[in-house]
């Protein structure tokens, strides 16, 4: 990360100093004390990231971030603010909006920054993947035009050089370098792959991104198919195109999930800061007024805030380490926590009917499991009739070795053409389709050994079933 350049824009000397102290060990940080100074720096230098305060005397943070985007395509933009006015709210709701980090930021600035840079890299890889997919015909034609292994080696190195994240690439024929440059020690990964059946031609490469390694492997597969020029075998290009499409779709899935989980983490951090402050004020007010009802409300909000904090920590651990902690949780606890977060929305849209949960327990990452149920209940609320004539039913059932959480609504149900892909991450990008929450739910369940399914409820709307592994040590399971 030491080559990532960041411009910090804030009229408060202490804020700039704090950000410089926090970020400079990992990034190259430049300071600007006002909007005009930021404009001059952005015009003269390239930056990977710009972090700007919202309120400044000459130009506000929205102007600075808009200018940065106009000057430098792909720059990561972060708005730093303790209070977002209407103009900022509008800017943050637009497509391609900047990230938002509240004051005080604790460690949120580093979390958001890391996720934003990661997502930018994935987007770049995705773009390169699409470009590779669209030029498959050209690649195949270039390979087909070669008549010797030396010619194939040169074409391979040339095409590999277009892969983003590939540091160096060399073709070796009978152990001798014939094209390109061998990878050095600075690469995070290195590989040496055979191209022809006899193992005379190898491609040695190294780079910094795992996706680059996978794309290199795909390129070599294309070359291996065309080594048939020397062995008089022919290969149809149909399978290659299909393989490419599958790889591109997988990259899109990974990039989309990265965007959604990064956005989730970002939103949670901002929400927690605001909620904690409000709860503290409410608790003080309840004590001053000696109002038991107000104290009960404050207690409910505290529980909800704790739930959000646990989800934040769990998601951050998952994003950083790729794993979650699984433990035994009573099914009734998951339902109660989910209703605490989504019950208000459900009751505002329909009649909420919750069946008493049987004494069953599941093996799950509790915070993620609650988030899944919240997403499903919110989806049911969003699908309910606008006139509040419908009902939402929530119940827990035994399902073999699993425990099923069943949510049924009286909405229109999912369109037939959407059912097959309703839990896929790209579905949410299409207007009027199923929300992103279900895609996140499907992924969150997958890492917990669970599943999510949909069926049309007879005479009603959608029935979405969340299944989690039952606890084999639970007498009720």
Low pLDDT (below 70) residues in the chain: 1-2, 82-96, 106-107, 122-137, 197, 225-283, 303-324, 417, 420-421, 424-437, 439-440, 474-477
Partners of 467 in the β-ladder: 404, 451
The confidence score (pLDDT) of residue 22 equals 86
Q: What angle do CA 259, 265, 266 make, to 5 degrees?
A: 85
Answer CATH for 1-105 from 3.40.50.720, 3.40.50.2300, 3.40.50.10170, 3.40.462.20: 3.40.50.2300
Q: Measured between alpha carbons, how far is 412 from 385 in angstroms, rounded to an integer?
A: 8
Residues paired with residue 396 on neighbouring β-strands, in sequence order: 405
pLDDT at 2: 59
Residue ranges of the chain assigned to CATH 3.40.50.2300: 1-105
Per the DSSP assignment, residues forming a β-bridge with 176 are 173
Classify residue 331 by burial, with Cβ atoms within 10 Å: 0-12, 13-18, 19+: buried
Short-list 71, 30, 37, CA closest to 57:
37
Which regions of the chain carry the CATH code 3.30.565.10? 324-469
Q: What's the pLDDT score for residue 404? A: 94
CATH of 324-469 among 3.30.420.240, 3.50.50.60, 3.30.565.10, 3.40.50.920: 3.30.565.10
Q: What is the structure's pLDDT at 240?
A: 40
At residue 375, the pLDDT reads 85
Residue 14 structure tokens = 């202490």
Residue 119: the pLDDT is 74
Burial category of 228 from C-beta neighbours within 10 Å (exposed 0-12, middle 13-18, buried 19 and up): middle
Question: For position 177, what pLDDT does the model report?
Answer: 92
Residue 360's pLDDT is: 93
Going from the C-alpha of 312 to that of each of 105, 319, 324, 371, the distances in angstroms are 14, 11, 12, 11
Tokens of 414: 């999912």
Joined tokens for residue 174: 């009978």
**Cα atoms found within 13 Å of the Cα of residue 269, Cβ hemisphere only:** 27
Q: Which residues contact 284 (CB under 8 A, 6 or more apart)?
A: none
The predicted pLDDT at position 241 comes to 44
Size (the chain), residues: 477
Q: What is the pTM of this model?
A: 0.42
């Amino acid at each position: 990360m030491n080559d990532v350049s960041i411009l910090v824009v804030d009229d408060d000397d202490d804020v700039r100093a704090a950000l410089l102290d926090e970020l400079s060990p990992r990034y190259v940080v430049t300071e600007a004390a006002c909007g005009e100074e930021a404009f001059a720096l952005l015009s003269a230098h390239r930056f990977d990231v710009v972090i700007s305060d919202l309120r400044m005397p000459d130009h506000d943070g929205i102007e600075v971030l808009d200018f940065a985007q106009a000057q430098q395509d792909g720059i990561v933009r972060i708005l730093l603010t303790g209070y977002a006015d209407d103009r900022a709210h509008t800017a943050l709701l637009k497509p391609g909006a900047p990230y938002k980090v509240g004051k005080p930021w604790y460690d949120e600035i580093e979390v958001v920054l890391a996720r934003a840079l990661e997502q930018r890299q994935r987007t770049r890889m995705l773009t390169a993947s699409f470009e590779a997919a669209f030029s498959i015909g050209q690649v195949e034609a270039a390979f087909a035009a070669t008549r010797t292994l030396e010619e194939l080696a040169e074409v391979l190195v040339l095409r590999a050089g277009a892969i983003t994240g590939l540091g160096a690439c060399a073709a070796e024929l009978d152990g001798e370098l014939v094209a390109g440059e061998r990878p050095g020690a600075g690469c995070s990964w290195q590989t040496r792959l055979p191209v022809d059946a006899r193992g005379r031609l190898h491609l040695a490469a190294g780079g910094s991104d795992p996706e680059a390694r996978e794309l290199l492997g795909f390129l070599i597969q294309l070359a291996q198919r065309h080594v048939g020029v020397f062995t008089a075998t022919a290969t149809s290009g149909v399978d290659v195109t299909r393989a490419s499409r599958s790889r591109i779709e997988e990259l899109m899935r990974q990039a989309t999930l990265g965007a959604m989980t990064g956005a989730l983490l970002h939103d949670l951090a901002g929400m927690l800061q605001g909620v904690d402050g409000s709860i503290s004020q409410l608790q003080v007010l309840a004590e001053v007024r000696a109002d038991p009802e107000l104290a009960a409300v404050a207690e409910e909000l505290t529980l909800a805030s704790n739930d959000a904090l646990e989800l934040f920590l769990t998601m951050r651990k998952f994003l950083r380490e790729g794993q979650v902690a699984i433990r035994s949780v009573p099914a009734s606890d998951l339902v109660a926590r989910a209703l605490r977060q989504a019950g208000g929305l459900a009751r505002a849209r329909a009649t909420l009917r919750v069946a008493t949960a049987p004494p069953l327990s599941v093996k799950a990452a509790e915070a993620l499991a609650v988030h899944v149920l919240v997403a499903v209940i919110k989806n049911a609320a969003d699908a309910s009739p606008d006139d509040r004539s419908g009902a939402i039913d929530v119940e827990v059932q035994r399902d073999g070795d699993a425990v099923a959480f069943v949510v049924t609504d009286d909405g229109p149900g999912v369109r037939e053409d959407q059912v097959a892909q309703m839990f896929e991450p790209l579905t949410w990008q299409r207007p009027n389709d199923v929300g992103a929450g279900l895609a996140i739910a499907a992924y969150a369940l997958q890492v917990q050994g669970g599943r999510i399914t949909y069926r049309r409820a007879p005479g009603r709307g959608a029935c979405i079933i969340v299944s989690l592994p039952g606890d084999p040590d639970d007498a009720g399971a």
